[in-house]
Amino acid sequence: MTPDKAKIAAQFISAIPHCKALNMRLTGIGDGEAEMELPYDLRIVGDPETGVIHGGAVSALMDTCCGAAAMSHPSSPAATATIDLRIDYMRPATPGQTIRTRAECYRITRSVAFVRATATDDDTQSPVATATGAFTVETK
């Protein structure tokens, strides 16, 4: 993907109201891969005792990142929608740390894009969550 296209993609993502509300940022995109981050925010805490972010916010980050990866694939058209998305929660994200995710569209057909993603916090060796999903390939 050219730098121009990547910039447009980043602007496109930051214009999505829910992504804007969560202060999500696209940090990399191209050739079926995307990287995004979600800063820590007290409003999206799921466990008030520990301050750990709710799985739903992690879902939103991973869904967006997987969709962006699918759309950035060279043989993908402009738009996509999630068919299904499974998220496995490996460990609680450390409170106060930004969650970063990297998604890869590892296979695309005329109808379906298959995408997987991993999310980590500052400890990049141990994933916080992984996701696998199928996305539609919209005909132009």
Partner 1 sequence: MARPRPEPVQTVKHRRDTALSALVHGVPYIQFLGIEFDRRGDELTAILPFDNKLIGNPMLPAIHGGVTAGFLETTAVIGLAWSVLWDDIETGRIDTEQLSLGHLPSMPKTIDFTVDYLRSGLPRDAYARARVNRSGRRYASVHVEAWQDQRNVLFAQGTGHFLMPPRSTGNSEHNG
> Which residues of the shown chain bind partner 1 in the complex (CB under 8 A)?
15-21, 42-49, 53-57, 59-64, 67, 81-89
Task: Please identify, using beta-carbon distances, which residue of 62 and 113 lies nearer to partner 1.
Answer: 62
* Closer Cβ to partner 1, 74 or 90, answer by number: 90
Alpha carbons 116 and 104: distance in angstroms, whole number: 6
Instruction: Please give the Cα distance from 88 to 73 (Å, whole number).
Output: 24
Measured from the CB of residue 89, what is the shortest distance to partner 1 in angstroms?
Answer: 5
Planar angle of CA 17, 23, 24, nearest 5 degrees: 90
Q: How far is the CB of 24 from partner 1 (least distance, A)?
A: 9
Provide the minimum distance between the beta carbon of 100 and partner 1 in the complex, in angstroms, as a whole number. 16
In the bound state with partner 1, the residue whose beta carbon lies nearer, of 3 and 15, is 15
Q: What is the spatial distance between Cα 117 and Cα 101, in angstroms, rounded to a whole number? A: 7
**Shortest separation between residue 71's beta carbon and partner 1, angstroms:** 12
Q: What angle in degrees, to the nearest 10, is found between the helix axes of 55-72 and 3-14?
A: 150
The residues with which 114 forms a beta bridge, in sequence order, are: 107, 134
Q: Which is nearer to partner 1, 3 or 140 (CB)?
A: 140
